[in-house]
A and B are shown apart, each in its own frame.
Chain A
Amino acid sequence: MEKKIELLLSSSPFLKQQEDTPAVMRQVIYSLLPAAAGALWFFGISALLIMLTAMLFALLTEGVYNKLTGRANTLRDGSALLTGLLLAMTLPPGIPLWMVALGTFFAIAIGKLIFGGLGSNIFNPALVGRAFLQASFPVTLTTWVAPGNGLSFMQWRSAAFTLPFVREKVAAVSTATPLSMMKFEGQLTPFKALFLGNSAGSLGETSALLLLLGGIYMAARHYINWRIPTALFATVIVTASALHWLNPETYAPFWFHLFSGGLMLGALFMATDPVTSPVTHRGCWLFGAGIGLLVVVIRTFGGLPEGVMYAILLMNGVSPLLNRIAQPPIYGDPAKFKKNEAHNE
């Protein structure tokens, strides 16, 4: 019997990546784990509760929406879980849990699903949820508690279990974040506290070191485009140093901007969201630089002490335009060819 030759026909791409979306999402969640562990160390069980609530409601919102609209089940791609965890990382440790649930619902439903699900949203869903909470409950979202350590793990934050839609009781002991101390009192937080994380702030913004660990891992494995954080850091360093050089009394040095507030978290985990950042490399350089510039401008001249969230959301909005103006040159472009020819003659 003659051996049949099978002819396989398929269209490009011929080189296929082994990793699909769920695998990448899992890896990003793993990279966030050091920072999450840091949050547990500094803020104890309330941090754990916030993270669990956010992740649970993220899955719940997406699951119910898929059921109601008759869509395929998208829970397994892990993006809802990641959004929930990222949102939790941006929240202050003393926040009532019903606000966490509401913010997560808003992030997933309005930030992502309304646009058509993963890959179709304009703005980073976690930051949409955070912006909604910030605008709705400005007092709660700017009340910070001082970080503890592992020994005070079981210490409850009284406000966490406030009933839904009820105003929380006056927070126990509130402190200022390094950024608001700088802005309103002109007091600089030492480098070591900022870098290691022993300072007040949101769950995931205290320790720059732990965030950097995750970020470097992701960049090395090409889960994120390293151009975005690089451009962002470079712009922040240049702009902040220039301001500091002009007047060291009022303007903070660059390392303060770099390691305080949500800049590390935003630069490594939110600005690099592949859905809402530009697709071209030149676009990514511009995108990161734009965020860096806006962060320094908002922090230095704006009314708010922190501006990373708004900077990223604003640049999310212009990333389609960046894609347009940052198109790579086409090889063998006839217009260019003619120009060169005319030049040679």
Chain B
Amino acid sequence: MQQKSPGKLQQFFHFPEGDGLATDEFIKGLWRENPVLVQVLGMCPTLAVTNSATNAIAMGLATLFVLVMSNVLVSSLRKVIPKQVRIATYILIIATFVTVADYVIQAISLEVHKALGAFIALIVVNCIILGRAEAFASKNTVWKSLMDGLGMGIGFTFALLLLGTVREILGNGTLFGFPFFPDSFQEWVIMILPGGGFFTLAFWLLFFNGMKARKKDNHTEVHPEKESVEEVYV
């Protein structure tokens, strides 16, 4: 009995044994398959709540929490969930953790909760989370799913922070609520309006695609296999 259980546990979690597989699952979400900047998923929170850096961080962390927890739970239940009702089950699992995140944010800061408004509840239908559950967690071990969730969540938070920083600095002259420019700075009101969200996202996408294109030109022969990106349709 004592000999068997660690083996089973080992099989269930599939701890990496120096091959760095799970590390790769973590790293891919940060950059190579970044959910916002490469996969262009989760546009609703990306555009709607990034009018200040604080909101962006709060939204990113809430999504990170829900993503990691739902990935772990979906992955550990992947053999139990019947195929026909899997989407409904995923939504149920995600909604549970969203409710937890909702109450936690409310407890920590009522101000942030008010600023994010309906978008906390809308994490339920964030296609990154459902996409990772369907495309990754339901097919992989718990350990890998955990790393995948962490990587994607941090990548999402990073992208949101990029947008939120630019929009808050230009639109309000502040960063995290502290003055960034002297008092006489003329705010660009459009940057905290919805239009500014689209412009900023477009600029960042342009920037990262430009960098990727430049990298590709330099390393076309070196890593041809790294270009395969999982296709997710949600």
Contact = CB atoms under 8 A, between A and B. Distances in A.
Contact of A138 (B181, B184, B189): B189
A91 to B, nearest CB: 16
Contacts of B190: 132, 135-136
A166 interface: yes
Contact of A166 (B185, B188, B195): B185
Interface string B187-198: 011110101000
Contacts of B191: 136
B99 interface: no
A137 B189 CA distance: 6
B211 to A, nearest CB: 15
A95 B141 CA distance: 61
Interface string A168-188: 100000000000000000000
Contacts of A165: 181, 185-186
Interface residues of B, number: 11
A124 B196 CA distance: 19
A132 B193 CA distance: 11
Contacts of B193: 135
A167 interface: yes
A136 B186 CA distance: 9
B186 A135 contact: no
Q: Pick the most buried of A110, A136, A137, A166: most chain B CB atoms within 10 A of its CB.
A: A136
A136 B184 CA distance: 16
A135 B195 CA distance: 9
A136 B185 contact: no
A84 to B, nearest CB: 21
A184 B105 CA distance: 44
A168 B189 contact: no
Interface string A75-115: 00000000000000000000000000000000000100000
A103 to B, nearest CB: 11
B185 A167 contact: yes
B184 A167 contact: yes
A171 to B, nearest CB: 13
Contacts of A132: 190
B186 A167 contact: yes
B205 to A, nearest CB: 12
Interface string A147-171: 0000000000000000001111000
A135 B189 contact: yes
B165 to A, nearest CB: 17
16 contacts: A110-B199, A135-B189, A135-B190, A135-B193, A136-B188, A136-B189, A136-B191, A137-B186, A137-B188, A137-B189, A165-B181, A166-B184, A166-B185, A166-B186, A167-B184, A168-B186
Interface of A: 110, 132, 135-138, 165-168
